[in-house]
DNA sequence: CTGAAAGCGCTTACAG
DNA sequence: CTGAAAGCGCTTACAG
């Protein structure tokens, strides 16, 4: 194993100088730098990151906390993040957190154990953040949810404007002539008022109100987590509870795909007997039979902005930011225009 | 930041003793152990892993190399692996390698840069392993491909018996009365003879031979990588080249789902006009419309055995092993029984 | 069973 | 611009 000591010996310089070359310090003569570089290349020397980190008293890697397993949409964001981080020479560790678990407390534990230099949350419950994020000191970003109202000085957030996007989804159904609309998704529970899913739900209710279309959450809304199975069950419950529904908005494409299966199993044709619009815009939405109409979030931009901001804040003393990235309505084949009732 | 020194001071013992308690060395008195433990808990002390690894001269984490992005099947294995590793107190870093890139060379580079203590390959090209794996010294496992014939003493492998499973798939179609069968999948290229996909293909050809059913790879086989789009294109090419096909075996469910879309877009009904069987057994196969018939690999067992073996070999001087795990034919709704032609 | 001390491979003031 | 030296937080022979 070649160490910095070997390079020092071989090049005739001291280890201090080698270290300076390694870290691109300006105060090294060009000649020295070149000679040392040559020895480094020839020996294929790679610095020991443990020693470096120990010395710098900074800590290992960046941790990505993914809320909810098997989420295709998050999967693509994770891949984007990993690539971006790697391009910038940063290592990342991924942790999967159960949909119903407290990701902030999990992060606190991880900070104690592994002392990451930054945290990226993929999804999260705003209430958990409000309550426990104060215990976290490292620069962090929350993706796909907004932490704007929380006021933590080490937490940025990048998200689709969920309220606006949900309104678009509902609006899309209404413009197609639907008035009996069900909504599924969001792992809402009693303490969850700031949760993303209530944001989306709130947006929906507003649009219903604007169009003067009655909407009774107790009847027309069914929470569920992000999985095929849960989407299936939620749609099943909803369709039994209110068979008059002509359309469903699912707060995730995975949920929508589960719901599509449930509808078909109940003997409904899509979109003839039931219209369906999803959320996320996963690649499969363009391949399903029929193709899923959905709201496409900009995964790439969310990942890119999140990483850029985190790296800046890890290295400089900057204020966190809260941004919103664009979305698009993708017209698939699962929404049927209805004759207007009037 | 509490360090081992603080715990020593606070407990009245030397740092050597604290270290022994931390690492469960047997030569510490029960009383001492208890007292030290108390202080550790009270202070919420967590050892600095950089210092520990530096001292132990072992290196950071375990690296998981995932071949091919956006592969749902690999995604679930990765999650399983991460969970298992974490339960055993090991950290894991995930790297995504392009489908057509050389994962072994990428691993060599990673070993130089980060010196992981173990490597897990998810998918891989046997030719690349044969040629370059000799440069890798850390304990490694290859999942979903067999490295049995390679004879490296630091490489285990755990895989579905691809030959047998592919034979089952083809056999399933033949028993349903199909004789004009196309095959898609596998990123075969000229140098690829030991590649997984040729294994699967070889298995298929054998079965055709046994049933005395003609099979012309140039006509009936179309390679493609693991993505919806590639599955779509491969099926499209195949169906144009040989419109007489009544069934397709796709070497991955994602490929199969892309193919399903292509078939429908060409005006074929599934399974009435074209039967389809996939490979992997991803959760969505049970939700697609129609439900996908497929060969289910045992992702959980592959992950579990791989991790168990790797951890053992990291810590003990053991020989690598090459195991095969079970698979199951899942009868979905995409294979139609045909009237026998004779 | 426990302590004192060396040393893992680096970085960074401090001199010169 | 460069070197000598201290020290990051641990582990582990070596004594006793």
Q: Tell me the per-residue pLDDT of A35-61, one tens digit each, with 9 for 90 and over.
A: 888 888 888 787 777 787 777 655 567
The confidence score (pLDDT) of residue A114 equals: 67
Residue B304: asked if its preceding bond is cis (omega within 30°), the reply is: no
Sort out which chain A residues have CB atoms less than 8 A from B48's CB and list them: 54, 115
The confidence score (pLDDT) of residue A290 equals: 97
Residue A242 CA to residue A219 CA, distance in Å, equals 7
Answer yes or no: is A5 CB < 7 A from strand D. Answer: no
The confidence score (pLDDT) of residue B103 equals: 93
Strand partners, B322: B157
Token pair in block for residue B135: 């440069």
**pLDDT score of B19 more than 70:** yes
Residue A170 CA to residue B317 CA, distance in Å, equals 61
Side-chain-side CA neighbours of B115 within 13 Å: the count stands at 16
Mean pLDDT of chain A: 87
Mean pLDDT of chain B: 87
Give me the A residues in range 71-100 that sit within 7 A (CB) of strand D. none
B16 CA from D2 C1′ (Å): 37
**A278, A285 contact by CB (below 8 A):** yes
Smallest CA-to-CA distance from B62 within B97, B94, B87, B92 is with: B92
Q: Left, alpha or beta for B197 (phi > 0: left; psi -120 to 50: alpha)? A: alpha
The confidence score (pLDDT) of residue B58 equals: 58
The confidence score (pLDDT) of residue A197 equals: 60
Of chain B, the percentage scoring pLDDT greater than 70 comes to 92
Strands ordered across the beta sheet of A181-184: A221-222, A181-184, A247-250, A275-280, A293-297, A327-330
The confidence score (pLDDT) of residue A207 equals: 92
Distance of CA A162 to the CA centre of its chain: 13
**Among A62-71, A133-142, B20-29, whose mean pLDDT is lowest?**
A62-71
The confidence score (pLDDT) of residue B188 equals: 54
- Kindly state the helix (H) or strand (E) to which residue A279 belongs, with its residue range: strand A275-280
Answer yes or no: is B246 CB < 7 A from strand C. Answer: no
Model pLDDT for residues B179-237, shown as the tens digit of each residue: 999 999 876 554 444 445 677 788 899 999 999 999 999 999 999 988 899 999 999 99
Q: In terms of pLDDT, which residue wins out, A10 or A342?
A: A10
What's the average model confidence in pLDDT over B152-158? Answer: 95
**Among A153-157, A178-182, B58-62, B280-284, whose mean pLDDT is lowest?**
B58-62
**Among A11-15, A241-245, B46-50, B248-252, whose mean pLDDT is lowest?**
B46-50
Side-chain-side CA neighbours of B134 within 13 Å: the count stands at 6
Using CA coordinates, name the residue in chain B closest to A284. Answer: B228
Binary contact (A114, B49; C-beta < 8 A): yes
pLDDT band with cut points at 50, 70 and 90 for residue A188? low
Segments in B146-293 forming alpha helices (H): 162-175, 196-210, 217-220, 228-241, 253-265
**pLDDT score of B163 more than 80:** yes
**pLDDT score of A112 more than 80:** no
**Optimal mutation site among A1, A111, A253, A284, interface B, most CBs of chain B within 10 A:** A284
The confidence score (pLDDT) of residue A332 equals: 95
Token pair in block for residue A155: 């937490």
The confidence score (pLDDT) of residue A41 equals: 84
What's the average model confidence in pLDDT over A182-207? Answer: 71
Kind of pairing between the strands at B62-67 and A327-330: unpaired
A288 CA from C14 C1′ (Å): 68
Answer yes or no: is B58 CB < 7 A from strand D. Answer: no
- Which residues, 6+ apart, have CB-to-CB distance to A62 below 8 Å? A85, A90, A91, A92, A93, A116, A117, A118, A119, A120, A310
Segments in A279-341 forming alpha helices (H): 299-315
**pLDDT score of A279 more than 90:** yes
Of chain A, the percentage scoring pLDDT greater than 70 comes to 92
Model pLDDT for residues B243-284, shown as the tens digit of each residue: 999 999 999 999 999 999 999 999 999 999 999 999 999 999
% helix, strand, coil for chain A, step of 5: 45, 15, 35
Query: Model-level pTM greater than 0.85?
Result: no
**pLDDT score of A292 more than 60:** yes
Residue A271: asked if its preceding bond is cis (omega within 30°), the reply is: yes
**Among A131-140, A199-208, B195-204, whose mean pLDDT is lowest?**
B195-204
Sort out which chain B residues have CB atoms less than 8 A from A92's CB and list them: 93-94
Answer yes or no: is B13 CB < 7 A from strand C. Answer: yes
Side-chain-side CA neighbours of B245 within 13 Å: the count stands at 29
Binary contact (A289, B51; C-beta < 8 A): no
Q: Which nucleotide is nearest to A32 (CA to C1')?
A: D1
Q: What is the CA radius of gyration of chain A?
A: 25
Model pLDDT for residues B22-41, shown as the tens digit of each residue: 877 888 888 898 888 888 88
The confidence score (pLDDT) of residue B341 equals: 47
Distance of CA B189 to the CA centre of its chain: 21
pLDDT band with cut points at 50, 70 and 90 for residue A28? confident
Of chain A, the percentage scoring pLDDT greater than 90 comes to 53
In the numeric block, the tokens 């959760």 are attached to B283
Q: In terms of pLDDT, which residue wins out, B196 or A158?
A: A158
Q: Left, alpha or beta for B5 (phi > 0: left; psi -120 to 50: alpha)? A: alpha
The confidence score (pLDDT) of residue B191 equals: 45
Strand partners, A121: A65, A142
Binary contact (B257, A59; C-beta < 8 A): no
Binary contact (A70, B115; C-beta < 8 A): no
What's the average model confidence in pLDDT over A85-94? Answer: 77
Strand partners, A156: A141
What's the average model confidence in pLDDT over A79-103? Answer: 81
Residue A214 CA to residue B19 CA, distance in Å, equals 67
The confidence score (pLDDT) of residue B70 equals: 58
Q: Which of B46, B113, B228 minimises the CB distance to A284? A: B228
Strand partners, A141: A120, A156
Model pLDDT for residues B113-149, shown as the tens digit of each residue: 667 888 999 999 899 999 999 988 889 999 999 999 9
The confidence score (pLDDT) of residue A98 equals: 78
Using CA coordinates, name the residue in chain A closest to B2. Answer: A112
A19 CA from D5 C1′ (Å): 15
The confidence score (pLDDT) of residue B342 equals: 46
The confidence score (pLDDT) of residue B202 equals: 83
CA distances from B43 to B17, B18, B46 (A): 17, 13, 9
């Amino acid at each position: 194993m070649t160490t910095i000591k070997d390079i020092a010996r071989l090049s005739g310089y001291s280890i201090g100088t080698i270290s300076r070359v390694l870290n691109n310090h300006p105060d090294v003569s060009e000649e020295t730098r070149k000679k040392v570089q040559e020895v480094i290349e020839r020996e294929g020397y790679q610095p020991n990151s443990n020693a470096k980190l120990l010395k710098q008293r900074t800590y290992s890697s960046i941790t990505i906390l993914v809320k909810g397993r098997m989420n295709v949409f998050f999967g693509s964001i994770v891949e984007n993040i990993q690539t971006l981080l790697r391009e910038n020479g940063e290592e990342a560790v991924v942790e999967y957190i159960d949909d119903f678990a407290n990701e902030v407390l999990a992060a606190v534990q991880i900070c104690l154990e592994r002392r990451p230099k930054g945290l990226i949350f993929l999804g999260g419950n705003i209430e958990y953040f409000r309550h426990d994020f104060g215990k976290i000191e490292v620069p962090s970003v929350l993706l796909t949810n907004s932490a704007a109202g929380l006021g933590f000085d080490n937490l940025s957030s990048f998200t689709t404007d969920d309220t606006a996007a949900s309104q678009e989804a509902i609006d899309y159904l209404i413009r197609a002539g639907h008035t009996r609309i069900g909504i599924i998704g969001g792992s809402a529970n009693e303490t969850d008022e700031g949760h993303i899913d209530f944001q989306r739900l709130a947006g929906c209710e507003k649009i219903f109100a604007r169009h003067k279309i009655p909407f009774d959450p107790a009847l027309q809304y069914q929470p569920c987590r992000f999985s095929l199975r849960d989407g299936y069950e939620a749609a099943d419950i909803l369709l039994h509870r209110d068979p008059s529904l002509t359309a469903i908005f699912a707060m995730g494409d995975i949920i929508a795909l589960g719901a599509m299966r449930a509808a078909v199993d109940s003997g409904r044709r899509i979109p003839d007997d039931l219209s369906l619009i999803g959320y996320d815009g996963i690649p499969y939405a363009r391949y399903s039979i029929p193709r899923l109409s959905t709201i496409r979030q900009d995964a790439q931009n969310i990942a890119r902005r999140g990483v850029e901001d985190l790296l800046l804040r890890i290295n400089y003393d900057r204020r966190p930011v809260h941004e919103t990235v664009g979305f698009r309505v993708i017209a698939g084949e699962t929404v049927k225009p209805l004759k207007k009732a009037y």
